[in-house]
Chain A
Amino acid sequence: MVSPELLLSAVVDALTYSSMIYMAALGLVIIFGLMDVFNLAHGAFFGLGAYIFVTLFYLTGNFLLSAALTVLVGVAAGLAVERVLIKPVYGNPLAQLLVTMGLMIFLFTLIQLLWPAGLVFPETGNFYISGYIEVASVRIRVYKFIVILAGLALFAIMSLVLSKTMLGVKLRAGTENRELAAVFGVNIARLFSLAFSLGVALAFLGGALVVPLTHATIELPVHFSLLAFTIPVVGGMKSYTGAFYASLLIGFVDRFTAYFAPWLTFAVDLFVMIAVLVLRPEGLFAR
């Protein structure tokens, strides 16, 4: 019999983990959805965001300022990478895979060179970042709720942008049919630059927001790369809302397995991905 305390703890962890996966995967889905570029370096950007955020936090001592600066670095890195590396290989999927794989190896090496011992996120004394609360006899770190709220806020913002703004309409139109969007007067080259830098900035933000729970280690980008890559497969390769529901599914499957059958953790995530590929290759939440 599973105790209510254990169940509550598992649910909070599953929601936290789902939110982390969503933040790791959203940029990947935006970039692939619009540009058909499967960015293998996306997880490395997520890891780099985590390291840069912790470094900035040590320098400034200010959580929000460090997060904002990390996002700005992500926007700049995204713009530079799109212009220099991705633009020359548009329309060439094999070259894109090779270029982004090369970039991933470069970023992993860079991280190991700059931070060979990893970075520990410090104890802050701030209740929201390092504090704990007790819910039904279960001691839960408050920051987990912050991560859950951040994931929900990101989903709400994305949904609003996609449905209520012209940028969202252009993104959805470009995702469906780039040639027609161009004929409709959309500057596709500019939209691509914007989408790629937005996707990378989201990866940096995701890395920044999860690192107080995980600390910055070289396993962080590797682990979240693999998890993030399952999301477009499970949710639908070009489905922005599918990414959210797929993150919830994988988050719950992963954490409940970790709680109740830990020797199967991660293998189950991959099993879900394979099952979706076999039974519904277009993804569970694709329209």
Chain B
Amino acid sequence: MAGGLLTVRDLHTYIAGFHILQGVSFEVEKGSVTAILGRNGVGKTTTLKTIMGIYKPAKGEVLFRGDSIAGLPPYVITSRGISFVPSERNIFATLTVEENLRLAYNGPKEKLGDRLEVVYNLFPELKRFSSLRAGELSGGQQRMLALACGMVREHSLLILDEPSEGLSPVYVKMFFKKLREFKEEHGKTILLVEQNFALAREVMDFVYLMDKGVVVAGFPLEKMEASRDLIRRVLGVSL
């Protein structure tokens, strides 16, 4: 892949003295859904948090639209056009649904109404509960709100960390359906970290496999069959 929207090169991150990322490199092409797959604890979430400036990289490059963003504060990275939806604690339980969405929105005031309409059309339930405290929503509805917050922001790249984690099968199905709708209607670029291989397969165009703090392989979806042995070894699943 050349000329990616996001380029990560030789990224190293330490947390509490532990060398978690040991030279992560990959690219995300504009308009694609790229998935990073790997087992628990291989550094997927740390990769995303380092891209977002939550962790400072010890070494390496993060280029977004060709500009270096490595080590910038999270609010600057968000303002550059990256929208991040963490896997846990990803909404403000004490704010109302609409306050969460208003806080997430970072564009001009006059366009706020239009953006809210876009996400309310995707998630009609959220419109119904717009004045309710987010903490009073069910777990699945909270995850929908987190995704809606990621979508309402003006962004060029949407990053999702383990969106299926802890969700019931009904909500998982709905979540990925909404994600596909959003991608198809708005042509957004999405970077997805997921443990659930079968789900990621439904939406991704390109996949990277991660193991022990490094990306061990990357290939487009159509060439996945050729990498079945590697996938079995790294993810422990059969195609």
Contacts and interface: CB of A to CB of B under 8 A. Distances in A.
Interface string A170-188: 1011011101111111111
A183 B106 CA distance: 11
Interface residues of A, number: 20
Contacts of A182: 53-54, 73-75, 78
A64 interface: no
Contacts of B91: 180
Contacts of B102: 166, 169
B86 A172 contact: no
Contact of A180 (B53, B79, B89, B153): B89
Interface in B89-129: 89-95, 99, 102-104, 106
Interface of B: 52-54, 73-75, 78-79, 84, 86, 89-95, 99, 102-104, 106, 149, 153
B103 A186 contact: yes
Name A's interface SS: helix
B73 A176 contact: no
Nearest to B105: A185
B93 A176 contact: yes
Q: Quick one: which of B75, B93, B153 has the most chain A CB within 10 A?
A: B75
A189 interface: yes
Contact of B94 (A185, A186, A187, A287): A287
Nearest to B90: A180
Given A166-B102, A173-B103, A184 B95 contact: no
Given A172-B92, A172-B95, A173-B95, A185 B86 contact: no
Q: Quick one: which of B74, B79, B86 has the most chain A CB within 10 A?
A: B74
A41 B25 CA distance: 48
A182 B104 CA distance: 10
Nearest to A186: B75
Contacts of A179: 54, 74
17 contacts: A169-B95, A169-B99, A172-B92, A176-B92, A176-B95, A182-B53, A182-B54, A183-B78, A184-B78, A184-B104, A185-B75, A185-B79, A185-B153, A186-B75, A187-B75, A188-B75, A189-B73
Contacts of B73: 182, 187-189
A170 B103 contact: yes
A158 to B, nearest CB: 15
A164 to B, nearest CB: 11
A179 B90 CA distance: 10
A169 B196 CA distance: 35
A80 B128 CA distance: 46
Nearest to B79: A185
Contacts of B95: 169, 172-173, 176
A173 B75 contact: no
Nearest to A174: B92
